[in-house]
């Protein structure tokens, strides 16, 4: 008689659809959370019940605003922690601060990122290094510290089906080449393969690793792409859904991927881009 295969960690939690409690009791760290997408992701995770570390690189005042918003609007706990994600010692110190405050980590949102644009033949080594260091190496350093804790602690079934969740903020430019932004596009292509490799390596430990690929989202990183009527019209030729994205669009995806609703999802990039990766230029040509 054939035996049914047994599962080593049968999920015992029925994921809740209630947005207010979907991440109840979980501890999250969002890098680059003092503005833009990171800020909204931090608030949304708080709203879904998580305690949140709001990481920032330089702007303490806006990080503190995010912290206050989480505490007052969401009723969960939040602290601001300064760290340059590309600096190993600062990253390790940030995780120690988080463990002292919250005890552990369940969710890492690797969000911190920047652009330093230039035509290829004018791009300095300093620009190249800065973008690769923050966008790619920063995600490596934070993921490594999180995974060490996920493996040490393992699954706590009353908290989540998984031992830990990592969400890497990528971009449509992990697949769409971007002239004049070779450092940025290369960093996002690297994030894609780092995310998939970590997902493959860590799935047996019940650690899920996914990415979000935002398209054009209204944030300070790309003001020149949307702040005049002409720029907005040009941008819309690239967006079949005909609106710019809002940070909330990304935050909703992050809450979903962090939650047990996504428990069988690992190793994927969820594009949140109004169809930008549908290559709208080919709607009439080709």
Interacting residues toward ligand BGC by CB under 6 A: 115, 171-173, 214-216, 221-222, 225
The residue from 56, 184, 241, 279 that is catalytic is 184
Give the nearer residue to ligand BGC in terms of CB position, either 33 or 48.
33
Q: In which residue are the tokens 């999180």 written?
A: 146
For the chain, the distance separating the N- and C-terminal CA atoms, rounded to the nearest angstrom, is 57
Q: In which residue are the tokens 């969000």 written?
A: 111
Any idea what DSSP says for residue 252? Answer: H
CA-nearest of 270, 210, 257 to 26 is: 257
184 is catalytic: yes
Give the nearer residue to ligand BGC in terms of CB position, either 147 or 238.
238
CB of 123 to ligand BGC, least distance (A): 16
Give the nearer residue to ligand BGC in terms of CB position, either 77 or 252.
252
The DSSP code sequence of 77-138 is -EEEEE--TT-HHHHHHHHHHHHHHHS--SEEEE---------GGG--HHHHHHHIIIIIIH
Residue 219 dihedral angles phi and psi, to the nearest 5°: -140, 170
- Give the span between the Cα atoms of 180 and 97, in whole angstroms: 38
CA-nearest of 200, 99, 110 to 152 is: 99
Integer-rounded Cα radius of gyration of the chain: 19
CB of 95 to ligand BGC, least distance (A): 26
Give the nearer residue to ligand BGC in terms of CB position, either 173 or 196.
173
Give the nearer residue to ligand BGC in terms of CB position, either 146 or 272.
272
CB of 239 to ligand BGC, least distance (A): 9
- Check: CB of residue 210 under 8 Å from CB of residue 262: yes
Residues forming the active site: 184
């Amino acid at each position: 008689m054939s035996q049914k295969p047994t599962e080593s960690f049968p999920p015992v939690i029925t994921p809740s659809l209630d947005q207010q409690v979907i991440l109840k009791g979980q501890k999250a760290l969002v890098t680059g959370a003092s503005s833009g997408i990171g800020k909204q992701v931090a608030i949304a995770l708080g709203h879904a019940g998580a305690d949140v570390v709001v990481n920032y690189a330089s702007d303490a005042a806006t990080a503190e605003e995010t912290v206050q918003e989480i505490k007052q609007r969401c009723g969960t706990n939040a602290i601001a922690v300064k760290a340059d994600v590309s600096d190993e010692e600062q990253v390790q110190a940030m995780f120690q601060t988080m463990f002292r405050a919250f005890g552990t980590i369940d969710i890492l949102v690797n969000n911190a990122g920047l652009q330093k644009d230039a035509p290829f033949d004018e791009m300095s080594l300093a620009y190249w290094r800065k973008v690769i260091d923050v966008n790619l190496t920063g995600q490596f350093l934070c993921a490594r510290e999180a995974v060490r804790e996920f493996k040490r602690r393992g699954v706590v079934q009353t908290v989540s089906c998984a031992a830990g969740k990592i969400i890497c903020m990528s971009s449509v430019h992990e697949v769409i080449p971007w002239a004049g932004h070779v450092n940025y596009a290369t960093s996002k292509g690297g994030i894609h393969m780092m995310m998939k490799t970590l997902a493959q390596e860590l799935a047996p430990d019940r650690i899920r690793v996914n990415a979000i690929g935002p398209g054009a989202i209204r944030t300070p990183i790309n003001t020149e792409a949307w702040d005049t009527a002409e720029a907005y019209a040009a941008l819309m030729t690239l967006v079949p859904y005909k609106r710019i994205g809002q940070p909330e669009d990304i935050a909703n995806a992050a809450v979903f991927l962090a939650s047990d609703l996504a428990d069988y999802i690992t190793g994927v990039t969820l594009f949140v881009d109004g169809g930008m990766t549908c290559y709208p230029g080919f709607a009439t040509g080709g």
